[in-house]
Structures are given as C-alpha cells and as structure tokens.
C-alpha cells in the first residue's frame, strides 16, 4: 500500500502540527487574501510575506524540496499566463532604478505570490491530518453534509484508486503491442463503467452499514479540537504580521 | 424466563423480481449461544441476516432480543443487534477510526463522555487500543476486521450477526478473530463457509439451502454427516473428518 | 490532462470573493434539488462517487497520432449524465475541494471560480445539451446517444473554460487581451472536450449495454442491440470540432489587428500612461531583452510594427508554450510517480 504519501507529513510531531486546525485554516486564509491584495506592480512588499509559509514549513519539519516540487507540478498554467503578460502590459514602470515593462513586474508578482500562497496551503495541509482539517472546517461553519461528503471522498479515494490501478494493470497486460483506437477506447469505457457500477453498489452497502448503526439521515458529530491560548497567540501574531506586511506597501510605494 | 435471543417462525422473503430467497425458515437461539449458519452460495444466509436487522420486509414472524422485527421497531432493533458485514471497507466509512467506532454510540444519542468511554472499551475488546487516530485505509485486513467488529460492539448489542467474518484473513488474523469471538459472551449467529471456524466456535449449527433450513442441531452431528454435507454443496471440515 | 485550475493570483480578493459567493449559492440550490430527487440521507454518499472520479482519471487512453500522450476522463459531464446535473455538481465541487486541499490543484481563493468553471457549467450546460440532442421521442439509438454525449462534453468543457478569460479580465491582474485569451482557451478546450467526449461515450456505451437504467433519459433509449457507432458519425463529430477550431484560428489571425488598438484604447485616462517609446537607455533591461528576442525569436518581426503578425505569433506561441509546459509537467510527474499516483485533474 503506497497511500502514505498523502498523510506522509501530517502524522509528524511539531508545534505547528499541534495547533488546532481552525487556527491554521483562518491564518492561511487571512494570509492568502492579504497576499493576493498586494498591488500587482509592487514587488518589494512581497518579501516579508515569505515569512509565514517558511516559518510554518520549517517549524513543521516539512521538507522544502517537497514543497517546491508540488508547486512546480501545478504551475504550468499560471507560468504560461504570466509569461505572456508582458506582451500586452507594455507600459513602462520604474523598477530598481530602471524602466521595465509593467507586464514583467506583474509576471514576477504573480509567480512570487503563487509560490508563497501555495507554500502556505501546503504548510496547512501537510501539518494537519485530513480528518482534523475536516473537523476544523465544520466548526468554522462549513455545512455538515459537505464535510461528511468530503470525508467519504477521502476515505474511499484509495480503495477506488487501488481498484482502478489493478484493472488498468490487467488491461495493460492484455493490450500489449498495437491495439486499435476503438479497442483501446472500449477498454477504457468498460473499466470505468465497471468501476462506476461497483461504486454505486458499494455506496449502497455503505448506506446499509450506516443504517445498521443507527443513521437516520441526521449527521451527528462530536465536537473536537481545543482552541487554547497557543492558538490565540498564533492568530494574533499572524494578524499583526500580515497587517504590517501589507502596510509596508504604503511605505515602499 | 429468559427470552430467546432469536426467534424466527416461518420467515419468508421474496426479492423484488419474484425469486424466493427464504422459504419458511424456523430458527431459535438462546441468549449466550453461538449458532453457526452454513450453506452453499445463494442459500440465503446473508438475506436472513439482513431480514433480522430490519433491512428486508419479510413475511412470517421474527423477533430479536425480545423485539419483534418490524418497521416500527427498526431503530430499537439496530441498537440491540449488531450486524457485521462481509466487507470491512463497507463498514469503516469515516476518515478516522475513532469516528467510525463512535458513529454508533453518537447515533444512539449518548453524551460525549459516554461515547468516548464506549469507543475506548470497544477498541480494547478487539485489541486495537490507542489506534483511534488511525485512518482505516492504513490498517491491515485483520485490523480492519477487528475494527469493524469494534464499531458494532460500541453499541453494546445483545446479539451479533456476522457475515463471513473470517473471509480474506491470513491464518494468524483468523486465529485472533476466533479467539476474540470465543471470548465474548454475546449471543451470535455466524454465517460462514469456514466450517473449521464454526466447529471451534459454535455448539449449534443450522444448515440453510435454497431458502430452507434443512438441518438444525449439534455442530458435530451435522457437520460430520458426509452425505448431508455432500447433498448441500458442502464438505465435512478437516477437524471432524474420520481418521483413516 | 493540462491542469487548467485557476490560481489565486489570476484574481483579486474581491472578484474571488464574489465568485465564491456565487458558487456557494449555486451549490446550495444544487443541494436542495438533489435532496428532492434523492433520499436526503444518501447525499453524503456522493463523496464515494467523487472518489470514483479520481479513480476513473487513472484510466488513461493513449491518444492516436500523439505517442506518449494520453487523455483521461474529466468527469463532470459523465456525472451529470448518470446522476443528473444537481448531484453531479455537488460531486464535482467536492472533487475540486479535495484537489485544492490535497493536491494543491487550484488555489484556495480561486475555489469559487473553479467550482463554477469546472463543476457548475459543465454539469448544467452539458446536461442541457445532452437532453436537447437526445430529444423527446422514444427509440433513441447508439448514434444519437453518441452525438448527445459528445456534444455535451465539448460544449460543457469549452464553456467552462471560456469563463476563465472573463474572470481574469474582471480581476485585471493579468492583462492578456480578452479576445485572444478567449480564443486560445476555447481552441485548446475544443481538443480536450473532444477527447472527453470520446471517453465519456465509451463509458456511456458500456452502461447502455449493461445497466441502461443508470443513464438519465434511459426511458427514451431503444433496447441496446448495437452500441457500436458507425465510423461516419464519429469522424463527422471530430471533423465538426476541427472545423470550429480552424475557424477560430483564422478568425484570430485575420480579425486581430484591431485587438491591440483596443487594449490601448482602454487606458487613455491613466495619468501615468506613457505611450510605448524606445527605452531611454540602450543598456536598460527592456532594451537588452528586446535585442535578445530579435535574435532568438523564430518570428523576427515579433518586436516590430506588424501587429497582425504579432498576434498570430502570440497565438502560436501560446499554444507552443502550453504544449511545452505540459510536457515538462508530465516529465516531472513521471519522476514523482514512484511515490504517488499522478495528482488527479478535473479538466
């Protein structure tokens, strides 16, 4: 079973891991909003924004090259758009004592914000067990039905991926060499079709198991998580930090 | 004075498409008894268990733990009866083991302290103490099977219905399961192909074939009857095979 | 295929917030409608179907004529055809949330936008097209079912993708001209949608044969004696897509010269506006960059006055870059394949 990559770092121990999920979610959300709100031509004020993700990642003992790899993997679309921006944002603006096309500034700004924002998101999700994250989201007001739905998705993600991989391997073993497009397409259709039918049946059985343990449609959960002084201090610190970082825009502009 | 844990009289059930699954089943089990339910595939074993837990509307009379099986009683029945399904993956549906084991007690509307206590006890009973925070997909097959049983035990049922509990278990896990079940004093109805396990756990066995109980009595008598076994698609388990 | 999830940085907090509120509202509607047609107790179980979509995306289909590349199911349209648009949207929303949180596909702030583009639009629009082509009369055969599924996929995927340029323009961070961005997104997604259509129909054909009752509109379907769709129908559908694509490209090339004037016309009131002039200093960053471009560019007139060529170059360059970045992403993903299955994408 190679499923541990998902929760690989979430089960470690660190001050960041110990923080209540709610505090981390609110902090990262606040940070992301403020980060994105930095005006697009300002690059210098972005520097202080590197502190939060770096701090969370380092204290949380998440390897930085893991983070960078993930950022790289999801970056193509943004990189592409950013790279073409300078063509159209041609107005010259001052930068570091010289004149540069505004588009280059925006491109740099977008890429820097992207990396930092992703870093913060990864810091959140790799220092929090998914079930804790869901519990935190629920206490923050996300509807219970949605939280339960996400819980099921996460729980059965690997069960179904395993099934799919097994069927894919069986297919690959049989479709060795050249097979016509039609045949390949029908194979995909058949596998996915079988997967779907099996999933629908499994969903029925799960529903039965739920009913056998008293489920009547009302989602009931135990309150979880403890929001103590550590969390309060953390949020205060983050609040002060993002405000200061954002205000630095006024200073440098 | 003790009410039968299970009392079934002339239970019949037809699938929506008309095929008969159960034809006039009679069965009784005393409190504390462990009864085996054996038979070939398609005999109706799983169907019978589902009927007893109020999932299928059957004709005839059935009562479990003194409650008559009917739509009105479904909630109460499921509080008293624990159904352990064939596939633990169907039964462990929460992202965290604690939440799975707590699911039953929470739906019984116990308060949080009681819920936590039930979870701790159930996990200890099946030998999974301290595993609350694990995600079910990180458990081995044997652990999953025990976890599934824990989810049911947490509701403190009077009666356990088990559908193929030893399926897919490696020898060691199977042995642990048998020890676990043997040590419990709850009334049990165990549907299984694993006849060796049935011999170890159950004093009584009911043989179901094509929806009818064709034999009901002491395990050793029934399971060692070679011609009876053969007629109904089964074999005498190795434990009872006559020494050559 | 390509990760077309939007990142936070393409939006501003205000625009992202508005889109998130809109998405939340529509999800609320979808949830209410789902509970009406489906036992409310079953709604959480939609999550299991979300897991199904991730798993289904692992089953790749190697594209003909393009060795080494493969496509896979996005899933939105298939979900709508099997579960209906309301439940389908709910499932897509949970998929997108998990993709954001677990695989970092798409940003936190852009979740609202992504749910709209890749959940709400493909499911509702795709379903509407599906039912429209299916018609109301009995006896629908394989060919019409194919056409309905294929059209639903292409239109759903394309319209969803078409929302991105409008959202980006409303935010104003990236200033790629709306029309060019729109044409590029539509063009690329015509291809993605076509592959989605083929794969979706392959699944629908299987269900038609084995369990037709799982498909919406099954009451109209004729008994499945043949689920083979003749080559003419398939070729016709692909040709239609190719023609639309060709039309778009030629439209972009010929109609575009006005485009650049248009972006400049937007800015006259800006007090800091300086008309584009040669940079004051030959050694400045821009001048050196321009010189490099002149030497390195395939189309040396790129920096010149020929606006028409510039826009064609822009279009071609965009497509080339998309392909290159996609290939790089694939290479990177192969390296991480040993630790994890490829992050799933809902296109």
Residue A3 with chain B: CB contacts under 8 Å = 137-138
Do the chains contact at B115 and A222, CB–CB below 8 Å?
yes
Query: pLDDT tens digit string along C126-166?
Result: 999 999 999 998 888 888 999 999 999 999 999 999 999 99
Q: Which of residues 216-245 of A touch B (CB under 8 A)?
A: 216, 220-223
The single-letter DSSP state of residue C221 is B
Contact call for C59 and A191, based on CB within 8 A: yes
Cβ pair A192, C203 in contact under 8 A = yes
- Flag whether residue A174 sits within 8 Å of chain B, measured between CB atoms: no
Q: What is the chain A residue with the closest CA to B97?
A: A131
Mean of pLDDT values over A167-184: 81
Task: Compute the nearest-CA separation of A188 from chain C (Å).
Answer: 6
Contact call for A154 and B91, based on CB within 8 A: no
By C-alpha distance, which of C23, C172, C175, C10 is closest to A36? C10
Q: What burial class does residue B236 get, using C-beta atoms within 10 Å of its C-beta: 0-12 exposed, 13-18 middle, 19+ buried?
A: middle
Chain A interface includes C52 (CB < 8 A): yes
Q: What percent of chain B clears pLDDT 70, i.e. is strictly above it?
A: 98
Which among C102, B97, C110 has a CA at the least distance from the CA of A128?
C102
- Residue of C106, C173, C227, C346 for testing the chain A interface, max A β-carbons within 10 Å: C173
pLDDT, position C300: 43
Q: Using 50, 70 and 90 to split pLDDT, how confident is the model at C324?
A: low
Asked if A153 is an interface residue toward chain B (Cβ–Cβ < 8 A), one would say no
The answer to whether the complex's ipTM is over 0.90 is yes
Round the average pLDDT of chain B to a whole number and report it: 92
Please, what is the angle between helix A76-88 and helix A102-126, to 10°? 160
Q: Chain B partners of A12 at a C-beta cutoff of 8 Å?
A: none
Q: Is A7 on the interface with C (CB under 8 A)?
A: no
Q: d(Cα A27, Cα A123) in Å, to the nearest integer?
A: 11
CA B171 to chain A, closest CA, distance in angstroms equals 20
Residue B227, pLDDT above cutoff 60? yes
Q: Which domains does chain B show, CATH number per domain? A: 6-240 (3.40.50.300)
Q: A18-27, A217-226, B185-194, B197-206: lowest mean pLDDT where? A: A217-226
Model confidence pLDDT, tens digit, residues A89-112: 878 888 877 888 888 889 999 999
CB proximity A200 to C under 8 Å: yes
pLDDT at C128: 96
Nearest CA in chain A to B154: A213
Of A72, A87, A196, the CB nearest to C203: A196
Interface probe with A: pick from B79, B82, B95, B138, most Cβ of A within 10 Å: B95
Q: Are A53 and C146 in contact (CB under 8 A)?
A: no
If we measure between CA atoms, which residue out of C97, C92, C77, C83 comes closest to residue C34? Answer: C83
Contact criterion met (CB < 8 Å) for A84 and C314: yes
Cβ atoms within 10 Å, residue C254: 11
C100 touches chain A (CB under 8 A): yes
pLDDT band at residue B1 using 50, 70 and 90 as cut-offs: very low
In this prediction, residue B189 carries a pLDDT of 96
Q: Is A64 on the interface with C (CB under 8 A)?
A: no
Chains near C, with 3+ CB pairs < 8 A? A
The count of C-alpha atoms lying within 13 angstroms of the C-alpha of A170, restricted to the half-sphere facing its C-beta, is 10
Q: Mind telling me how many Å the CA of B18 is from chain A's nearest CA?
A: 21
Q: Over 90: is that where the pLDDT of B124 sits?
A: yes
Interface test with C, best of A25, A69, A76 (most C CBs within 10 A): A76
C202 pLDDT above the threshold of 70? yes
Least Cα separation, residue B19 to chain A (angstroms):
20
Point out the residue among A134, A151, A214 whose CB comes nearest to the CB of B75: A214
Residue C309 has pLDDT above 70, yes or no: no
DSSP state for residue C38 in the 8-state scheme: S
Which residues from B are below 8 Å from A202, CB to CB? 89-90
Task: Phi first, then psi: give them for residue C288, nearest 5 degrees.
Answer: -65, -40
**Could you tell me where the DSSP H helices lie in A127-228?**
130-139, 144-174, 181-212
* Mutation choice for A interface testing from C6, C7, C337 by most A CBs within 10 A: C7
Q: Which two tokens stand for residue A24?
A: 């981390």
Q: What are phi and psi of B187, to 5 degrees?
A: -65, 140
Please state, rounded to an integer, the average pLDDT across all residues of chain C.
78
Query: Taking the CA of residue A250 as centre, how many other CA atoms within 13 Å lie in the half-sphere pointing to its CB?
Result: 4
What percent of chain A has a predicted confidence (pLDDT) above 70? 96
Residues of chain C contacting residue A79, judged by C-beta atoms under 8 Å apart: 325
Pick C8-261's CATH classification: 3.30.413.10, 1.10.1760.20, 2.60.40.10, 3.10.420.10: 1.10.1760.20
Contacts of A149 in chain C (CB under 8 A): 43-47, 50, 90, 94
* pLDDT at residue C339, rounded to an integer: 39
pLDDT score recorded for residue C227? 66
Out of A67-76, C51-60, C186-195, C266-275, least confident range: C266-275
| pLDDT tens sequence across C255-282 | 655 444 444 444 444 444 444 444 444 4
Residue-wise pLDDT for B25-50, tens only, equals 999 999 999 999 999 998 999 999 99
Per-residue pLDDT tens digits for C61-106: 877 666 667 778 888 999 999 999 999 999 999 999 999 999 888 8
A192, C42: Cβ pair inside 8 Å?
no
Task: Return d(Cα C69, Cα C50) in angstroms, integer.
Answer: 25
Kindly report the nearest CA distance between residue B1 and chain A, in angstroms: 29
* A4 lies within 8 A of chain B by CB: yes
User: What is the number of CB-based contacts under 8 A between chain A and chain C?
Assistant: 293
């Amino acid at each position: 079973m190679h499923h541990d990559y998902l929760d690989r770092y979430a089960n470690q121990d660190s001050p960041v891991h110990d923080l209540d999920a709610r505090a981390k979610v609110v902090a990262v959300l606040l940070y992301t909003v403020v980060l994105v709100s930095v005006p697009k031509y300002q690059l210098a004020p972005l520097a202080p924004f590197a502190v939060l993700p770096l701090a969370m990642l380092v204290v949380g003992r998440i390897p930085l090259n893991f983070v960078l790899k993930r950022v790289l993997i999801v970056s193509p679309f943004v990189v592409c758009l950013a790279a073409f921006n300078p063509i159209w944002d041609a107005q010259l603006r001052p930068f570091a004592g010289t004149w540069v096309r505004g588009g280059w500034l925006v491109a740099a700004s977008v890429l820097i914000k992207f990396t930092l924002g992703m870093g913060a998101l990864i810091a959140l999700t790799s220092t929090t067990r998914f079930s804790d994250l869901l519990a935190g989201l629920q206490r923050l007001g996300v509807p219970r039905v949605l939280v339960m739905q996400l819980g099921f998705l996460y729980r059965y993600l690997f069960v179904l991926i395993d099934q799919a991989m097994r069927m894919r391997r069986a297919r690959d073993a049989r479709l060795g060499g050249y097979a016509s497009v039609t045949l390949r397409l029908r194979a995909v259709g058949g596998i996915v079709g079988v997967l779907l039918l099996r999933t629908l049946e499994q969903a029925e059985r799960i529903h039965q198991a739920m009913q056998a343990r008293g489920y009547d449609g009302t989602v009931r959960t135990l309150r979880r998580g403890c929001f103590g002084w550590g969390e309060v201090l953390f949020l205060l610190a983050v609040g002060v930090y993002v405000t200061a970082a954002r205000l630095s825009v006024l200073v440098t502009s | 004075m003790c009410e039968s844990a299970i009392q079934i009289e002339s239970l019949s059930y037809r699938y929506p498409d008309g095929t008969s699954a159960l034809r006039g089943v009679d069965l009784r089990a005393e409190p504390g008894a462990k009864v085996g339910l054996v038979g070939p595939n398609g005999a109706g074993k799983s169907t019978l268990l589902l009927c007893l837990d109020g999932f299928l509307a059957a004709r005839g009379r059935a009562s479990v733990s003194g409650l008559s099986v009917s739509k009105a009683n479904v909630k109460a029945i499921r509080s008293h009866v624990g159904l352990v399904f064939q596939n633990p993956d169907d039964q462990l549906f929460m992202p965290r083991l604690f939440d799975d084991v707590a699911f039953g007690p929470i739906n019984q509307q116990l308060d949080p302290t009681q819920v936590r206590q039930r979870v701790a006890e159930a996990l200890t009973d099946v030998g999974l103490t301290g595993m609350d925070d694990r995600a079910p997909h990180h458990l081995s097959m044997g652990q999953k099977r025990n976890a599934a049983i824990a989810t049911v035990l947490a509701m403190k049922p009077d009666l356990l219905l088990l559908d193929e509990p030893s399926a897919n278990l490696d020898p060691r896990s199977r042995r642990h399961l048998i020890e676990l079940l043997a040590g419990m004093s709850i009334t049990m109805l165990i549907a299984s192909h694993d006849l060796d396990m049935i011999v170890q756990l159950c004093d009584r066995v009911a043989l179901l074939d094509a929806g009818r109980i064709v034999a009901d009595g002491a395990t050793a008598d029934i399971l060692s009857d070679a011609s009876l076994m053969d007629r109904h698609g089964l074999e005498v388990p190795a434990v009872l095979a006559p020494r050559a | 295929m390509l990760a077309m999830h939007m990142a936070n940085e393409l939006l501003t907090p205000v625009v992202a917030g508005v889109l998130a509120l809109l998405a939340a509202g529509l999800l609320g509607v979808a949830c209410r409608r789902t509970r009406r047609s489906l036992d409310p107790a079953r709604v959480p179980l939609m999550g299991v179907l979300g897991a199904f979509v991730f798993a289904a995306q692992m089953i790749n289909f190697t594209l003909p004529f393009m060795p080494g590349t493969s496509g896979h199911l996005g899933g939105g349209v298939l979900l709508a055809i099997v579960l209906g648009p309301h439940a389908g949207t709910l499932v897509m929303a949970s998929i997108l949330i998990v993709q954001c949180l677990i695989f970092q596909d798409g940003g936190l702030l852009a979740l609202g936008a992504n749910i709209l583009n890749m959940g709400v639009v493909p499911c509702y629009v795709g379903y509407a097209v599906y039912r429209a082509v299916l018609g109301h009369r009995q006896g629908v055969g394989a060919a019409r079912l194919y056409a309905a599924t294929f059209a639903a996929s292409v239109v759903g995927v394309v319209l969803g993708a078409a929302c991105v340029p409008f959202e980006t323009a409303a935010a104003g961070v990236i200033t790629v001209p709306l029309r060019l961005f729109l044409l590029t997104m539509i063009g690329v997604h015509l291809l993605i949608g076509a592959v989605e259509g083929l794969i979706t129909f392959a699944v629908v054909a299987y269900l038609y044969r084995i369990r037709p009752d799982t498909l919406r509109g099954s009451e109209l379907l004729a008994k499945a004696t043949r689920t083979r769709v003749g080559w003419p129908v398939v070729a016709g559908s692909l040709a239609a897509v190719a023609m639309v694509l060709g039309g778009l490209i030629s439209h972009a090339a010929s109609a575009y010269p006005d485009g650049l004037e248009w972006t400049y016309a937007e800015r006259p009131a800006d007090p800091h506006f300086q008309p584009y002039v040669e940079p004051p200093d030959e050694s400045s960053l821009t001048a050196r960059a321009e010189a490099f471009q002149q030497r390195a560019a395939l189309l040396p007139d790129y920096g010149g006055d020929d606006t028409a060529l510039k826009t064609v170059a822009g279009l071609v360059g965009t497509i080339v870059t998309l392909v290159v970045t996609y290939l790089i992403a694939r290479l990177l993903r192969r390296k991480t394949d040993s630790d994890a299955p490829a992050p799933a994408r809902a296109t």
